[in-house]
A and B are shown apart, each in its own frame.
Chain A
Amino acid sequence: MINKIVASVAEALDGIRDGATVLIGGFGSVGQPDVLIEGLIEQGAKDLVAVLNNAGVGRVGVARLMELGRVRKIICSFPRSSDPVVFETLYREGRIELEIVPQGTLAERIRAAGAGIPAFYTATAAGTLLEQGKEAREFDGKRYVMERALRGDVALVEAWEADRWGNLVYRGSGANFNPVMAMGADLTIAQVQHIRELGELHPHMIMTPGVYVNRVVQVDRGGDWLKPEAA
C-alpha cells in the first residue's frame, strides 16, 4: 500500500542535510508552507540555498531562518516585501548571497529541472543586466538568453487537500509556485490542511499528482487563519 502521510512535521523533514537547496512554495501570504519552515528552523539544517519568490517578511518563517544564519544564498525574483528587514540587513553586511531571477524564468528553471531539461532559451532579460554571465543566442532574428535548470534537493509546498498517494489539491490562488516546485526537487514535502480518502479527490481537481510528492503532513489550521499582508 502506498502511504505518503507521515505523523509529524519532524518526520516529514527528516534527512534534510546541510547545504541543501530548498524550494519554498507560496506567493504573498497564500500557499506558504509555513509550518514546514518552522519545522526546518527546529530541524537545524544550515548552509542552505533557499529558492522562493520573496526574501521573507518580518522576523518569522524564512526571515527567521535567515536571521539565524542558516541560509547561505537566496534565489528569488523579488527581495522586497512590506517588511524585508532581515534580508536587507544580512545583504548589506555581506552575510547572504543573492541571485535575482525574473519570476517567469525562476518558475521555468524549476519546471525544466522537473521535466528533465538541462537548459532552455528565453527572451526574458535579453539585453539587460540579468543576461550578464549567460550565453545568449539568436533564433529567427531575435535574441534569447540561455537559462539553466534549477533543481531542489528538497521542496516544501502547501496544499489544501491531499490523499495517501500524495495527490494535491490547492485552494484559491494557493497553487502559485507549489505545483512547479513539487516537480522540481528530489524530495517533495507537502503541508496540507485536509487528508482525504483515496478516490475522494476529483481527478480533474488534482493539480499535483502524487508521483511528484514524497511526504505529506497534515497541519489543521482551519479555514480563516490567514491574514492578508500588505506587500
Chain B
Amino acid sequence: MPFTRDQMAARLGADVPEGWCVNLGIGIPTMVANHVQGKEVIFQSENGVIGMGPAPAKGAEDPWLINAGKQLITLAKGASFVGHADSFAMIRGGHIDLCVLGAFEVAENGDLANWATSENDTAPAVGGAMDLAAGAKRLWVIMEHTTKDGRPKLVERCGYPLTGLACVRRVYTNLAVIDVLPEKGFVLVDLAPGVTLDEVRAKSGAAIHTN
C-alpha cells in the first residue's frame, strides 16, 4: 500500500532529529509538525514566528497569531517574534536546518519547480519559496510520486519554471523515499510497504538508482 499523506508526513517526521530549526511549506509539509513527538524541534514560520506550537484548541484561538499559511497557531515555550526582514535573513543566511516544500517537479540534478506551472501563468505567486530553496541548509520535498493524471514528477530536467537550482536533497513520496545526490541523481532510500522498486521506476521520469 502506498503511503497516505499523513503517513508520508510521519515518514519524513521520523527523520527530523531533535534540535533542528524547521520551516514547513503549505499543504502536506504542514502535516509534518504533527509527527515529531518527543523531540524538541523549532518550527519557524516566515512571517516572523520562531517556535510555533500545535494548532489552537477551539475557543483558545488568538487572531493575532498566524503562520505563513494564514492558519491560526499557538506558540511553543521559548518562541520569539521578528519582522520579515529578520525572518528572511534567518532563512537566507543559512540558519534554517531544514525546509520542507511541496513540488510540481524535482529533477535528478536537484532542481526544484514548485511556483509556476508555465512561463505565461497569469499571475505566478512565488512567496518565500525561492528564498527557502536558496537559503535553507537542506531542502526536502514531500509530494505525490506522480501528478493526478499519472505523469511523473521525478524527472531528468524540470519542464516548469525553476524555484531553485540543485537544491533538493531528498524526496518523500507516497511510494518511496529517494535521495538526490550530486553526480548520481535519484538514489532509493526505502519503499513504502508493499511498493516495489519496479513500480517506483515505472512511475518516475528519470533513473532511480540503488546503492
Chain A residues at the B interface, C-beta cutoff of 8 Å: 27-30, 55, 77-80, 84, 87-88, 91-92, 98, 100-108, 110-111, 122-130, 170-180, 207, 224, 226-231
Please count how many residues in chain B sit with their CB below 8 Å of the partner chain's CB atoms: 45
Contacts of A180 in B (CB 8 A): 83-85
Q: Name B's A-contacting residues (CB within 8 A).
A: 45-49, 61-67, 70-72, 81-85, 87-89, 91-92, 116, 119, 122-131, 133-135, 161-165
Chain A residues near B135: list those with CB within 8 A: 104, 123-124
B81 touches A173 (CB 8 A): yes
Q: Give chain B nearest CB distance to A162 CB in angstroms.
A: 16
Cross-chain pair count, CB within 8 angstroms: 154
What would be 14 A-B contacts, judged by CB atoms less than 8 Å apart?
Answer: A80-B125, A88-B123, A100-B126, A102-B127, A103-B88, A104-B88, A104-B91, A105-B131, A107-B83, A123-B134, A126-B165, A173-B47, A176-B48, A180-B85
Pairwise interchain contact A100-B128, C-beta atoms closer than 8 A: no
Contacting residues, chain B, for A177 (C-beta < 8 A):
83-84
Residues on A with C-beta less than 8 A from B125 are: 77-80, 100
Chain B binding surface SS class: loop
Interface pair B46/A122, CB less than 8 Å apart: no
Question: How many Å lie between the Cα of A170 and that of B47 in the bound state?
Answer: 13
> With A and B bound together, what is the CA distance between A124 and B122 in angstroms?
22
What 16 new A-B contacts, CB under 8 Å, besides A78-B125, A104-B84?
A30-B66, A79-B125, A80-B125, A102-B126, A102-B129, A103-B84, A104-B89, A107-B83, A123-B92, A127-B164, A128-B164, A129-B116, A172-B64, A173-B65, A224-B63, A228-B61
